[in-house]
Amino acid sequence: MPSLAKAYVALIAAFATAVLVVVASRWNPENLGHFVLFFALAMVASAMKIRLPGLKTTISTNFVFVLIGIALFSFGETVLIGLGGALVQSFWKAQQRAKPVQVLFNGACLTVCSAAAFWASHSALAMLGLNSLTAVMVLGACVYVVLNTGLVSLVISFAERQSLKNIWPQCYEWTFPYFLVGAAVAGLASTAGHGTNLGMTLLVVPVMYLVYLYYRMHIIRAVLLTISNVSRENEDLLAGSPQGR
């Protein structure tokens, strides 16, 4: 890995460490039983991951639980959901053994993204005098998506020495529909479970599993179509080339 990429990973890890220090100093869950159950389901969701075509990265349904955590749980609980999801996503059925630097970046990235989304959707709105669950979810989702795709695209740009303006649109193109549907599901689940009805919130698991299956098939079809088009173009080139004697 290039020195610039290593320095970037170290910087994100430093930010994540600072966030975790704050979490440890302010840890005070309101309902530990609810959080443990929700955290366990979030880790199950993190195992439902999809590898993005052309990019050495994956996405999972864990971000939906991060968004719900922003609405229903505390800062520390939300951050732990993001961090735990990153670790599961790194190790669960990985095609190749994850390198320590990759695990470090994944954990640090989702820690920072979860913390930033929570802060923006609570502190920033509080400063503006807004107290709306819809505003919390929309702002939290926007911050999480932009920051997550940006941080991941930047590390790929540094590691592979490619232009960020080429990497980021590609990452955003594949992830935005998935994030959009997930954010809508998270919003509905948060509204249903905003009181004491946590059971309604937990229904997000089977719903997101169906979304995961559909999006996975969509990516597989897109990849197969690309391969088919490339093969057809190669056949046309061979058919049009002069034949040797």
Going residue by residue through the chain, which has 245 residues, state the pLDDT in tens, using 9 for 90 and above.
788 889 999 999 999 999 999 999 988 887 888 888 889 888 888 888 777 666 666 777 788 888 888 888 899 999 999 999 999 888 877 767 778 888 999 999 999 999 999 998 888 777 777 777 777 888 888 899 889 888 988 988 888 888 888 887 777 666 777 677 777 777 766 666 554 455 556 666 676 667 667 666 766 666 555 555 545 555 555 555 555 44
CB 61 within 8 A of CB 42: no
Amino acid at 112: V
Assigned token pair, 229: 């088009």
How much is the pLDDT for 58? 72
Burial (CB count within 10 angstroms: exposed 0-12, middle 13-18, buried 19+), residue 92 = middle
Taking the CA atoms of 209, 79, 174 and 101 in sequence, report the sign of the dihedral they define. negative
Q: State whether residue 40 is helix, strand or coil.
A: helix
How much is the pLDDT for 129? 72
How much is the pLDDT for 245? 44
- Radius of gyration of the chain from its Cα atoms, rounded to whole angstroms: 20
Instruction: State the maximum Cα–Cα separation within the chain, in Å, rounded to a whole number.
Output: 82
From 208, 206, 215, 201, select the one nearest 182 (Cα to Cα).
208
CB 167 within 8 A of CB 153: yes
CB 42 within 8 A of CB 84: yes
How much is the pLDDT for 113? 94
Assigned token pair, 90: 């790194």
How much is the pLDDT for 81? 94
- The half-sphere exposure of 231 on its side-chain side, counting CA atoms within 13 A, is 6
From 69, 75, 47, select the one nearest 60 (Cα to Cα).
47
Q: State whether residue 59 is helix, strand or coil.
A: strand
Q: State whether residue 74 is helix, strand or coil.
A: coil
CB 215 within 8 A of CB 177: yes
Taking the CA atoms of 234, 239, 241 and 245 in sequence, report the sign of the dihedral they define. positive
